[in-house]
Amino acid sequence: MRDTQPVYGEAMWHWNRRQFLSTGLFSLLALTERVGAVEPSRFEPWRAGWLDLHHISTGRGNSMLAILPDGTSLMVDAGAVDETSDARALAPARPDASRRPGEWIARYAARHLAATPAKQIDTFVLSHFHGDHMGQLTARSPQSKLGNYKLTGVSDVAETLPIRRVLDRGFPDYSYPGPISDPSTLNYRSFLKAQQARGMKVERFRAGASGQISLMYEAAKHAAFRVRNLASNGEVWTGEGEKTRSLFPPLETLPRAQWPLENPCSNALRIEYGGFRYYIGGDLTWDTRFGSQPWMDAESPVAKVAGPVSAASLNHHGYYDSTGESFVRAMQARIYVLQSWHASHPAFDVLDRIYSPVLEPGKHDVLATDLVEAAEIVESRLSDRMLSQQGHVVLRIEPGGERFWVVVLDSADESDRVKARFGPFNSVSE
Ligand SMILES: [Zn+2]
């Protein structure tokens, strides 16, 4: 752990460097990195061979939609936090509060999946059982027309956009580390049960697997594509075959108060396309309670087997207990996407670690789906360096995976207007 002095010192270093770069050299550099498209305001629909990774901005939780090279679709999380809880700290609802977050996610996904063969969500992966990833049950969550459950988050998405298969960390008994029985998870399980009767498949996410998520339509055409399941419930891929090891001690050796928390149990996965690699790992954390519970750092061991990558979604919304030194050293990502919607996202020292040339000398950029104004004020010395602070963040990887672009789409309405474009970036850095 670093103390506060170097953090401050590095922040000042960035500040001076930023001031220097703003003299015009920076504009030139920025210009050369931006792609001059014919119609810069229009987002080109997905085409066969492209890998598109959409980080959807709703201001209410996480959701990532991946359109794979043959049109297979994968969604990781569909969050919906209660807008009345902690309202002062939340981002504005995007596009607005006239619909629930899950409805906006479904509509966004339907627009972008229109170009794919099945126009549905082939696989939904739930990283873990928290409302900002799954959907929080509130007194205002309406009843589904499809079964005996309420609509929030993923169940709201499935109300209008078919989901063929769900992978989570708990199926079928939902009992690790103890019974998972909070109201939002019980509602989610009622949703699964009703949808299974309608043909949806549900499986447990298998750590270490490299074929549980695969291309469903034209896999033979895209042999360079693969999804590796990295971790689940503290089981982490070893890097050999599909072998895993367990981070957490046997539960019977721990007092109940020290059982693994929900966040370090998150599912993590890596998407690979030629040289391109992308990491997403829910709310994995590195906080060990000042070293007293070392097994609670699930983030570092997962990062070591996941990295280096070309791009990554930051763990736990860049909260203070995530994106540790080991993560930054191992990941070396050119692009970090911050799925943010709360004043605590990200922590100042998280940005400091990412930008620090001491931890990782390469160039790193951060784009947030929604940087809340309070966070922007507190962290302006570092948040000003972000490539983007608001909007849907889309990574578009070219056929074969050698290069990729980052496109930010306006989330103020459903026009999908391009706010900014960056790239191309080489998937494998020099
Ligand atoms: Zn979360």
Domain, as residue range, for 224 = 42-425
Total number of domains in the chain: 1
CA of 126 to the centre of ligand 1 (A): 11
Residue 160 · residue 111 · CB < 8 Å: no
What does the pLDDT average to over 278-297?
96
User: Which uninterrupted H or E stretch holds 33?
Assistant: helix 25-33
| Residue 163 in domain | yes
Question: Does the pLDDT value for residue 5 go beyond 50?
Answer: no
CA of 302 to the centre of ligand 1 (A): 17
Indicate whether 281 belongs to any domain.
yes
Ligand 1 centre to CA of 318 (Å) is: 10
* Ligand 1 centroid from CA 204, angstroms: 20
Ligand 1 centre to CA of 64 (Å) is 13
Residue 430 counted as domain residue: no
Q: Name the token pair of 233.
A: 């419930």
- Quick check: is 348 in a domain? yes
Q: What tens digit of pLDDT does each residue of 79-88 get?
A: 999 988 888 9
CATH of the domain at 386: 3.60.15.10
* Rounded distance from Cα 119 to ligand 1 centre (Å): 27
Structure tokens at 295: 């097994």
- The pLDDT value recorded for residue 28 is 43
Question: 112: CA distance to ligand 1 center in Å?
Answer: 24
CA of 257 relative to ligand 1 center, distance in Å = 21
- Going from the Cα of 415 to the center of ligand 1, the distance in angstroms, rounded, reads 27
- For the cut 70, the answer to whether the pLDDT of residue 25 exceeds it is no
Q: DSSP of 199-214, one letter per residue? A: T-EEEE--TT-SSSS-
Residue 29 has pLDDT above 90, yes or no: no
Gap from CA of 79 to ligand 1 centroid (Å)? 8
Domain contains 5: no
User: pLDDT tens digits for 225-243?
Assistant: 999 999 999 999 999 999 9
Q: What's the CA gap between 54 and 100, in Å, rounded?
A: 19
For residue 212, pLDDT over 90 is answered with yes
When pLDDT is averaged across residues 140-147 and rounded to a whole number, the result is 97
pLDDT digits (tens, 9 = 90+) for 347-395: 999 999 999 999 999 999 999 999 999 999 999 888 899 999 999 999 9
Query: Is the per-residue pLDDT at 298 higher than 60?
Result: yes
The Cα–Cα gap between 204 and 232 comes to: 9
How remote is the CA of residue 306 from the centroid of ligand 1, in Å?
A: 20
In a domain, 334, yes or no: yes
Closest CA to 63 of 149, 161, 208, 202: 161
Separation of 366 CA from ligand 1 center, angstroms?
A: 18
Interval 109-131: pLDDT, tens: 999 999 999 999 999 999 999 99
Q: Compute the distance from residue 259 Cα to the ligand 1 centre, in Å.
A: 19
Q: Within a domain: residue 30?
A: no
* Ligand 1 midpoint to CA 319 (Å): 9
Residue 36 inside a domain? The answer is no
